[in-house]
Structure 1
Amino acid sequence: MTTISIDPTEYVEVDEGTLQFPNAQQQAKFELGVCMAIYKWEELNTAVENSWGGSNSSEKRDWISGVIIDLFLENKAVDIQLIEETLLYAMVDEFDTEVDNDSALEIGGLIMKFYKDVQLEKYSDIDQLYQKWNEKKNTQAENRKVHIEEDPNNPDSSDDEEEDEEDQDIEMSNNDNIIIDEPKGPIVDDDGFELVQKKGRRR
């Protein structure tokens, strides 16, 4: 994909209604383009990978994509600076992170380019990003696969360990029912006096 020059004042506008595409295919392609642009944002990816937004950081990234899409669904004019500001606010609100470089502006410029491409029914750059994202996702999925093989020298070791743990559990559960016997009969000291005994406790 070719590098684009960014004019922060660049915008798209319609006379009536909103910036939503009347053609369903165009709208779907644009929404895909927005998602791919958001997934391309390294600062956001770092925040997600480190869970700066909590355990649902990945869902928050998808939510940000939805917020940007809504800008075009709800307004008759959108410029790059509006997209940039929305991204920066979202990073602060959702990830408690301030981005002090121009990366959000670059993502805004990419989204604006995708909108204009879709107007011309040019989808190659969006499709190219989507293909790369799929390849990266599949590679990560392969790397996460863990195949556990039995030890050829001691194939039953894991089974033995499980049986030992079960035996320990049984012994501990049986111990819960142990009754401590109370002393039987009087106890007499060396001087011949009978000692008073406290009643034992049962558990």
Structure 2
Amino acid sequence: MDSQSTMAAPAKDAASFLDLAIALVLNNWPALTLAVQSNWGGPTSGDKRDWLCGAISDMLNERPETDAEDLEDVLIQVMNDEFEVMIDDESAGNVAAEIMEFKAQTTRGEFGAIQELWETWQKKSQQKSSAASMFKKVDARDEDQETDEEEDDSEDEDVEMGEAPSLVRAPREKVEPEIDEDGFTMVKKKR
């Protein structure tokens, strides 16, 4: 399931904004995005990402004492267990810190940054879908041209092609070595 189509506009309550922030941050994480696009978690990689979004939301709601380090450990563990990806850069820590910052903002009733992230996500999604539709249009046009060319070719008569040139080199003449009167072979310089 494509998470771009499943994310809905944010509601007005803090929990919904936090859930949206978690989903946006995880969908923007390059390591997870690559793992999902490459199906490193199997054919249900997208579902695993969606499950991770829900699991993090539940963890933050059920255990309010969760900090960025706890969340980073969970992200690293899930990437390793579910996608067979070892995260050895700082990206898991950055993602965890970003999610915890959004949690703090929603606790204070500040939703502006999440709203901006949501709008950026929507614009990026629209650009991707318009680029994909342009590709489909160009691809369809190319197929039409190929069909026309094939029809044109079938109407033409066969053209007599001459014999193909030989790709095999003619053997070189072997130069017999000169032997002097003492029985020694003469050494000649190459030209």
- The correspondence for 1:86, drawn from 49, 59, 74, is 74
Q: Distance in 1 between matches of 2:64 and 2:93?
A: 20
* 1:44 pairs with 2:35: no
Partner SS, residue 66 of structure 2: strand
* 1:100 pairs with 2:80: no
Cα deviation digits, residues 58-89 of structure 1 (max 9, x gap): 22111111111010222241111111011111
Alignment of 1:1-203 (within 5 A): 25-145=13-133, 146-147=136-137, 148-149=140-141, 150-151=144-145, 154=148
Deviates more, 1:148-157 or 1:62-71: 148-157
Q: Distance in 1 between matches of 2:62 and 2:29?
A: 24
Residue in structure 2 matched with residue 171 of structure 1 by the alignment? none
Q: Which amino acid aligns with 1:138?
A: Q
Q: Which amino acid aligns with 1:93?
A: D
Partner SS, residue 69 of structure 1: helix
- Give the RMSD, CA atoms, in angstroms: 2.4
Q: Distance in 2 between matches of 1:26 and 1:72?
A: 13
Q: Distance in 1 between matches of 2:23 and 2:132?
A: 24
* Count of residues in correspondence between the two structures: 136
Cα deviation digits, residues 127-155 of structure 1 (max 9, x gap): 11111111121122122221224449949
CA distance change for structure 1 residues 153 and 84 in 2, over 3 Å: closer, same or farther? closer
Give the TM-score normalised by structure 1. Answer: 0.60
Cα deviation digits, residues 13-71 of structure 1 (max 9, x gap): xxxxxxxxxx9711101111111111121111121122211222222111111111010
Q: Distance in 2 between matches of 1:42 and 1:97?
A: 12
Larger % of strand: which?
1
Give the TM-score normalised by structure 2. Answer: 0.64
Larger % of helix: which?
2
Taking every aligned residue pair, what percent have the same amino acid on both sides? 25
Q: Distance in 2 between matches of 1:152 and 1:95?
A: 41
Partner SS, residue 54 of structure 1: coil
Q: Which amino acid aligns with 2:119?
A: Q
Q: Distance in 1 between matches of 2:65 and 2:95?
A: 18
Q: Which amino acid aligns with 1:77?
A: E
Q: Distance in 2 between matches of 1:117 and 1:152?
A: 56
Partner SS, residue 138 of structure 1: helix
Q: Distance in 1 between matches of 2:88 and 2:97?
A: 17
1:156 to partner: Cα distance: 10
Structure 2: segments with no counterpart, 5+ residues: 1-10, 152-191
